[in-house]
A and B are shown apart, each in its own frame.
Chain A
Amino acid sequence: MGLQLFCGAIRVTQPKYNIPIGDRLWRWLVISLPYWWLAIFFLAPFAIVFKISFADPIIAQPPFSNFFDFSPGADNWLLATLDNYRFITEDSLYWISYFKSLKIAAISTVLCLLLGYPMAYGIAKCRPGMRNILLMLVILPFWTSFLLRVYAWIVMLGKTGAINSLLMKIGLIEVPLEMLYTDGAVYLGIVYTYIPFMILPLYSVLEKMDTDLQDAAADLGAKRWQVFLNITLPLSMPGVIAGSMLVFIPAVGEFVIPALLGGIDSLMIGRTLYDEFFINRDWPLASAVATVLLFIIVIPVMLFQSSQKEEAE
């Protein structure tokens, strides 16, 4: 989505020679602002990480070898090595982490969609005054610290936590349930945290939908579920896609939730990255892991977007 937006901006900058130079400069400045933002806060850090991923780990400050060696007598001025990437492909730990991250992100996205769609639909069908209140409630959790909210779940899910004590008190269970530090807790945490990102784009699409279309389908013989499958769902696809991306992409790299709620075996890539950076202090390998992660996410997203664009045309 972002990419398309910027492509649109590029078209605007096509020179129009009847515009005075001052205006053109001003226009260029305004339009290029997001590019500067991206260049400074995304491209430059990524370039640094990318560079480090080709270095060797050394015990020093900073803990990686130089990229260039211009000292006289060096037989090669470029000191890049692909060892880190080779290592990632050879050690199954990384592949398991990648796979597990993608799996958890994908399942969480589907869960968010299944929960978020009816909620968004419900909100969109409310009368306008009620809508704002409900939307407010969706956004409200963002007003407290994210970390605090995840910690709250530890209190809820723990062996002596609220849920277990309640269940034991009413005699439903004898032994406390094993809920914290499981994959289930990770799914719960991710779905709980990211569901607003699913609801909001879905709501904005559903709220704008012309109810005449649904009436027309019913008029032509479609039962309620058919109206949903034939009309409402296909026409809300832009919202489904936007919401899924907003949940899936950050969920893949999620670190805090699996670290706090997940078990020792819930090795998501964020956790692996953290371990490489801070426990092993192997910055070059960690950078390589991060770079691969970026390509794993970005390339499918770009392919998907271009196919969407073609379809739209």
Chain B
Amino acid sequence: MRAASDKIMPVKPATDFAEAPWLDPKAVPFIQIKSLGKQFGDFTAVDNISLDIYQGELFTILGGSGCGKSTLLRMLAGFETPSAGQVIIDGVDITDLPAYDRPVNMMFQSYAVFPHMTVAQNVAYGLKKDRLPKAEIAARVKEMLALVQLEELAARKPKQLSGGQCQRVALARALIKRPKVLLLDEPLAALDKKLREQTQFELINLQYKLGTTFIVVTHDQEEAMTLSSRVAVMDAGRFVQIGTPLQVYEFPINRFVADFFGTINLFDAKVTGSTVIDKNTYAIEAALDKTGTLVEADCTHKLKEGDLISIGVRPEKLSISQKKPRGKNLTITSGVVEDLAYYGNRSIYRVRSHSGRIIQISAQNFQRTKELVLEWDDQVYLSWDSSCSVVLSE
């Protein structure tokens, strides 16, 4: 399949966001998924999905359990046959290729390290199936084990390894054939928190070094946020939104995405006025439910007076204070501290507003104090800059 002599060469990574290939109309997608679908009896697991992924991307598919993300990944790997559609990788239609013939490798959530083989044998397995010369297999295994820092453990059996070490064996084993695409199924889910943070950076570094296109499937929005060049949020077999983590977090297109990708406070509101700023921007004014507090916000689509919408505000965008804040473009509401959690660097407050709604605030603890600045049952004012209001009409 691949030439035996090609060394691992650092390819210029596309994770240089200055030149995001998905914004370049001339860029040729590396992976093209065209109207892909999968039915299990009456159940539609993957519903007519189309997606372009570019060379060197670290693309994350994020969704809850049963949203079809794993089925999608298994179709890319060749373990499931699509009911409809096409998958093209690097110009070659692989839709009907069996798993063993695809230029794609996968790292399993369970790692699926072969328990009866040593670390070195596990890593060498893919090359052996390609019938490469022994000397070359040995050299490449050594190189790969060095890359994932497992050289000393080459002769160990998986039983003698920790979870993190197993994860690296699985990664090395999946990368050794130099696949065009590496699929990762919940790569960090089985690791504890400290190890996860460390592994996250290792994974990004590795991807940067190798230039391989990674497709990650996860249910963990934090994982998706930190790893990816782009994220696709998936629900009920469809992509709801595709974009960079920043785009998806700050500009969610609907309530589902806003709520799934991070935490958000959602207020029901009614549009009271709308003015055109330019082609894609409208400034609207809306009244929050019950309290009638007026909110100003920017919006990308036209809304008319009387439309029912949601105004979303992320917890960290809110300020909390006992004195009524003053300033331009501020939306201000008030309430009573019902719950608070002190995390050291920040505190999380749950405030019951006068409309009875619980609002969550995440505030940095800027000051060093002997006692909590705010206590339970304190009367507080909440405010946010109107640029932080997210208008959600779906």
Q: Which of A's residues lie within 8 Å of B, judged by CB?
A: 210, 212-213, 215-223, 226, 230-231, 234-235
Contacts and interface: CB of A to CB of B under 8 A. Distances in A.
Query: What 9 A-B pairs come out closest when comparing CB atoms?
Result: A221-B129, A220-B126, A212-B112, A216-B112, A218-B99, A221-B100, A212-B108, A212-B110, A219-B106
Contact of B115 (A215, A217, A220, A235): A235
18 contacts: A210-B110, A212-B110, A215-B99, A216-B106, A216-B114, A217-B114, A218-B79, A219-B77, A219-B100, A219-B106, A220-B100, A220-B105, A220-B125, A220-B129, A221-B126, A221-B129, A222-B100, A226-B129
B99 A231 contact: no
A213 B114 contact: yes
B114 A231 contact: yes
A215 B116 contact: no
Contact of B125 (A212, A215, A217, A234): A217
B359 to A, nearest CB: 44
A235 B116 contact: yes
Interface string B120-147: 0000011001100000000000000000
Contacts of B126: 220-221
A210 B109 CA distance: 12
Nearest to A212: B112
Interface residues of B, number: 23
A226 B177 CA distance: 17
Nearest to B99: A218
Contact of B129 (A212, A215, A222, A234): A222
Contact of A221 (B77, B115, B130): B130
Contacts of A220: 100, 105, 125-126, 129, 173-174, 177
A212 B99 CA distance: 13
A250 B391 CA distance: 77
A219 B110 contact: no
A208 to B, nearest CB: 12
Contacts of A230: 125
Interface string B42-62: 000000000000000000000
Nearest to A235: B116
A213 B109 CA distance: 11
A222 B177 CA distance: 13
Interface string B357-380: 000000000000000000000000
Given A218-B99, A220-B105, A220-B125, A234 B116 contact: yes
Given A215-B79, A216-B106, A223 B100 contact: yes
Contacts of B114: 213, 216-217, 231
